[in-house]
A and B are shown apart, each in its own frame.
Chain A
Amino acid sequence: MGNYSFMIRIANAQGFWGDSLEAPIEQLRGGPIDYLTLDYLAEVTMSILQKQFARDPLAGYARDFPQMIERGAKEIVERGVKVVANAGGVNPETCGEAVGAALGRAGYKGRLKIGVVTGDNILSRLDDLMARGIELRNMDTGEALESIRSRVRSANVYLGAFPIAEALGAGAQIVVTGRCSDVALSLGPSIHEFGWKRDDWDLLAAGVVGGHVVECGAQATGGNCQVDWETIPDLAGIGYPILEAEPDGRFAITKHPDTGGRVTVAGVTEQLVYEIGDPRAYITPDVIADFTTIQLEQVGKDRVRFWGVQGRPATEFYKVSISYSAGFKAAGTMTYGWPDAVKKARAADRILRTRLERLGLKFAAIHSEYVGANACHGDLLSGEPSPDIAEVTLRVGVRGDDAAAVERFTREIAPLALNGPPVVTYPSGGKPKVEEVVAYWPALIPKSEVTARVTVKEG
């Protein structure tokens, strides 16, 4: 286990909004931890929250978070566990107030300080920025933002970890942020506890790597692990990851004792290579981490040690995540049973497409797949399905700018139950739902244009 001079335990309990409601409580009660971090903000989440905020100025944040604080208040207050979450969405101040109210309901009014980080939301500044020549070009396509300006729904800068450290330094025990880099939630506590400086590139890079391993929750502790997955114990009671961080940039990944799952080199390596680009340049607001310098070793049951991580100076830019409205889509399904299930499903697809054409409906895209035969890997890799396959589900989706056409499409699926190929069944619950498509526009903004603001108040 090593002789730690000083070590802090940072427990992650939420890999995305919709992850386990029990994980935060289990991390608080399952053993000693110093910090609890929760990541609520997927890219799609910000546009949903912006829409809620537009309807209600007291909405626009992850409401699960204050509820979690209320449930876990006893452990948080009495054991002094600090909590860092990007639950603030597009309304961090109101989220902070809701956290205070939740603590009050639990009987801990005024017992601790709540920090709020803002400054990431640049939606109201877009026109001013563009007028001053900051084009916010799409990082993938090079297009200027102007082409979709009228359809923009949200615009948030990925802030770094230092504002979180500042809030902790000012005495906050719970820190609520809007958009920040996912790894900032656990890097902020290390910066605060160990006094890491803005140019401690190797230390910051180590904190980024540790944060990357734990940011997707149980994907670091046996969830989604391909190696010996059938033998991974008690996935029903899987323990979420705990990062044991040390001042010199070494760290270990583990989980609470007597929890399910497994922490292995194989599993954490899968997580290390998850959603990365060039491994020599993992770019974050605070540092560029070099993933080809990571050394790791299994040092005990459910414990992997990391060391050797190197970093380089951060860039002069923050990444901005802009969401914009990009039309409508819907998808419907029909399930065909043995015999010749795929043949029948393909015939139904041809019939449906013919009817859509005769109706004169135009779509930007129509996509058909056969769930059970080719939906995940396509025809080429999946190969020809057996005519004896027990059943297959035809799933047809359409996408386009014309909401009425997409709506009309949703009425053409169900009739196949009576007027198409035989041995067919379909989901109850009526016609498919039409959804607005929200697309992403990644861009860069000079750091000089963005100021993170930190406020800390009695809860």
Chain B
Amino acid sequence: MARVQLREIAHARSGDKGDCSNIGLIALRPEHYAALVEQVTAERVKEHFRELCRGRVERFELPNLHALNFLLYEALDGGGTVSLRTDAQGKTFSAALLRMKIEI
């Protein structure tokens, strides 16, 4: 077992819909998808983003793409046009998720 940062085994893209941010997380190699499913839970992602996301986190699985999709509610300070943040649309949240560490 080794502790790795997600950026070593996955890539991601994030965007917005209103005040909700979506982060798609994709395993770089299919054999790492199971570890993502097991360890990158909605609860853990909520904890990881506790400073930025005020609402709940929902997770969906796309086994065909070796990918997970996360929805972070109330995560954009009111949403793209309302938000006072530099990253009002959560475009950099993908990389923020890749900071997380898991065991493989």
The residues of A with any CB-CB pair to B shorter than 8 Å are 43-44, 140, 219, 224, 226-227, 266, 269-280, 291-296, 326, 329, 331, 365-367, 369, 371, 375-381, 395, 397-399, 437-440, 442
Contact = CB atoms under 8 A, between A and B. Distances in A.
B13 A273 contact: yes
Contact of A375 (B15, B24, B86): B86
Nearest to A228: B11
B67 A273 contact: yes
Interface of B: 11-20, 22, 24-26, 28, 48, 50-52, 60-65, 67, 69, 71, 77-82, 84-87, 92, 94-96, 99
B62 A291 contact: yes
Contacts of A329: 82, 84
A372 B26 CA distance: 27
B62 A279 contact: yes
13 contacts: A140-B19, A227-B11, A274-B14, A279-B69, A293-B64, A365-B77, A367-B84, A369-B86, A376-B95, A378-B51, A379-B51, A397-B84, A399-B82
B60 A331 contact: no
Contacts of A278: 60
Nearest to B20: A140
Contacts of A367: 77, 84-85
A224 B13 contact: yes
Contacts of A380: 50-51
Nearest to A323: B81
Nearest to A439: B82
Contacts of B65: 269, 272-273, 291, 294, 296
Nearest to A226: B11
A371 B86 contact: yes
Contacts of A294: 64-65
Classify the interface of chain A: helix, strand, loop or mixed: mixed
B101 to A, nearest CB: 12
Contacts of B28: 227, 266
Contacts of B26: 266, 269-270, 273
Given A44-B81, A375-B85, A275 B60 contact: no
Contact of B13 (A271, A377, A439): A271
B12 A226 contact: yes
Nearest to A219: B13
The 9 closest A-B pairs by CB, nearest first: A273-B24, A397-B84, A367-B84, A275-B15, A270-B13, A376-B92, A226-B11, A378-B51, A375-B86
B96 A376 contact: yes
B80 A44 contact: yes
Given A44-B80, A272-B67, 15 more contacts: A140-B20, A226-B12, A270-B24, A273-B22, A278-B60, A292-B64, A295-B64, A365-B78, A369-B85, A369-B86, A380-B50, A381-B51, A397-B84, A399-B84, A437-B82
A201 to B, nearest CB: 18
B86 A376 contact: yes
Contacts of A272: 24, 65, 67
B18 A140 contact: yes
A267 to B, nearest CB: 9
B82 A266 contact: no
